[in-house]
Structure 1
Amino acid sequence: MPIDVAAATSAEPRSAELVWDHRDVILYHLGLGANTLNYALEGPGLQVLPSFATVAGGSAAAGEARGGLSLPGIEVDLAAVLHGAQRIEVHRPVPVRGRAVQTSRVADVYDKGKAAVLVLRREVADEQGPLWTSDAQIFVRGEGGFGGDRGPSARTTPPGTAPDRTVLRATREDQALLYRLSGDWNPLHADPEFAKHAGFDRPILHGLCSYGITLKAVVETLLGDDAGRVRSCSTRFAGVFFPGETLCIRMWSEPGRVLASATAVERDDAPVLADTVVEHS
């Protein structure tokens, strides 16, 4: 079997140093379309969206994420790999500049029948202690059915009521070209020929870009535009989104958390993000 669960989950973690400053933070925010001064101007008013944790360190962070697929016990075809879900838990506000160590490991392997799900965990800490924990769920098609644990259900059904808030977020045709400068150079998001080979009419937007856009919408709409209130943000990538489309973000506010969904307006509200939960103070 290409995935040896015991070997994968017991392998020694891999470490990498992450370094970032205000330029990386601002570039990331601009990649989301966040161009107001509190997200795009250096100085004491600059805040950091917690979703920046997915790109902090640029190529170093991305390299460690890909490296999780080459740990002992894992031999998979990258063409069968999909980013299925993402969760970030911040232990304290992400600083504008930092130097930290990221430790990566396979935390779990779940058996979904037709697919296996790898939970790649990245724990980041600096001299002051833990900064954030990131869990990426990676679906590997064709590698399920080995009799393992199916894992917990992360489905979160919104209340059967109208959303408390609904906002639209337009994206640019070149959104993916700007976002990829933060470290994700996958040609699927830039090269039309590569995208066609992968089965898409044109390049698709990074799922983590839609994730960041949605988190920002929640922060500015229901959290007083205070990114420091976010404690965690989880989501499931439910469908593709193309640069230039409009994201419709629906939000339901509950004590201590916001439930959200995101759909593509131009394609009859085709699902983009589902089971999205932002926990906050």
Structure 2
Amino acid sequence: MSLNHDLIGVPSEAVRRSWTSKDTLLYAVGCGAGHDDPLAELSLTTENSHDIAQQVLPTYGVLVASGGGGRKLGDFNPAMLVHGGQEVELSRPLPVEGEVEVTSVITGIEDKRSGALISSESRAVDVATGEDLVLSRSQIFIRGEGGFSDGTTGGSPAPAHEWVLPEREPDLVAEMPTWPGQALVYRLSGDRNPLHSDPVFAARGNFERPILHGLCTYGISARALISGLADGEVSALTAIGGRFSAPVTPGDTLTVRAWRSDDGDVTFQTLRSDGTVCFDRGTARV
């Protein structure tokens, strides 16, 4: 098994991606919107509520900016691949429906000894206006694919952000329940990896049962920040990022703890019900 290091720094061909109102509604529901209170987030879950315009959960930008590339990263066991980190920045609120042109590039492959950390960057340009819409930075970790060098091989790892947990009580503590079948809904937004649905495949990755998509936890965290720090104003969240640090089992209750600075920057963590941090080094702009 080996990874294709020749892909580092080589831009992909542009790929067009489109979405509809139905796609963004399904995504929001998959991230838990409306599950506990069907009246609480109608701008995310409906398109025809009285005096409420449909809006798009900002983390959907990751899906908008996906699909660039199509190149083979290498030969490895897909059950050993997990999402390592994710960051998305929006130039403006995402439209309910639209079409973009996406290009991507692998920016680095790091040897972490226990596995390989692959960093990539994708840009989505609005086809209708020619303007940048989404910048997405992702990291995936492939367990068992390390040991190929003494450090980073080619390219550069994702830029490190100075991150310090504030030494005071958080401005927001929000409990965000998940439900046992949530991964089965979230996967309908495009990530059909059987790690999140097939117990046999999950066992190949050394998981006792299918786990929740990391990007679902990401979307849940965004919902908490919007509700707790922006009074439900979806467009107020323009950037969000962090690292996936532990798997989540569907049905667990997550807790988002967030600290807001005077300039609108937010530091946050998302924890499982056992206290384990599952989304770490969280940053957002609200």
Question: TM-score range with shorter-chain normalisation?
Answer: 0.7 to 0.9
Contact 1:17 1:99 in 2 (8 A): yes
**Matched residue, 2:276:** 270
2:106 aligned counterpart, secondary structure: strand
The yes-or-no answer on 1:192 pairing with 2:199 is yes
Q: In 2, Cα distance between the equivalents of 1:151 and 1:207? A: 18
Aligned-residue RMSD, C-alpha: 2.2
Contact 1:31 1:176 in 2 (8 A): yes
Amino acid at match of 2:26: L
2:42 aligned to 15, 37, 43, which one?
Answer: 37
**Matched residue, 1:153:** 160
- Show structure 2 runs of 5+ residues with no match: 35-40
Label 1:12 to 1:214 Cα distance change in 2 as closer, same or farther (>3 A).
closer
1:161 aligned counterpart, secondary structure: coil
The yes-or-no answer on 1:257 pairing with 2:265 is yes
2:208 aligned counterpart, secondary structure: coil
Amino acid at match of 1:158: L
The alignment covers a number of residue pairs equal to: 269
2:108 aligned counterpart, secondary structure: strand
Contact 1:155 1:275 in 2 (8 A): no
Q: In 2, Cα distance between the equivalents of 1:227 and 1:16? A: 28
Q: In 2, Cα distance between the equivalents of 1:140 and 1:155? A: 25
Amino acid at match of 1:123: R
Structure 1 residue 155 displacement after superposition? 6.0
**Matched residue, 2:81:** 81
1:55 aligned counterpart, secondary structure: helix
Q: In 1, Cα distance between the equivalents of 2:161 and 2:7? A: 23
Moved more, 222-231 or 237-246: 222-231
| TM value normalised by structure 1 | 0.87
Q: In 1, Cα distance between the equivalents of 2:43 and 2:134? A: 22
Contact 1:2 1:143 in 2 (8 A): no
Q: In 2, Cα distance between the equivalents of 1:190 and 1:151? A: 30
- Show structure 1 runs of 5+ residues with no match: none
The yes-or-no answer on 1:54 pairing with 2:57 is no
Structure 1 residue 80 displacement after superposition? 4.0
Amino acid at match of 1:15: A
**Matched residue, 2:135:** 133
Q: In 1, Cα distance between the equivalents of 2:111 and 2:164? A: 23
More helix by share: 1
Structure 1 residue 162 displacement after superposition? 1.6
Contact 1:87 1:134 in 2 (8 A): yes
Alignment of 1:227-238 (within 5 A): 227-238=234-245
Q: In 2, Cα distance between the equivalents of 1:120 and 1:153? A: 14
Q: In 2, Cα distance between the equivalents of 1:205 and 1:79? A: 14
Label 1:115 to 1:199 Cα distance change in 2 as closer, same or farther (>3 A).
closer
Contact 2:124 2:135 in 1 (8 A): yes
Alignment of 1:166-245 (within 5 A): 166-245=173-252
Structure 1 residue 160 displacement after superposition? 1.4
Aligned-pair identity in percent equals: 33
Structure 1 residue 34 displacement after superposition? 0.8
**Matched residue, 2:17:** 18
Structure 1 residue 153 displacement after superposition? 3.2
Structure 1 residue 133 displacement after superposition? 0.8
Structure 1 residue 228 displacement after superposition? 1.3
Structure 1 residue 76 displacement after superposition? 4.5
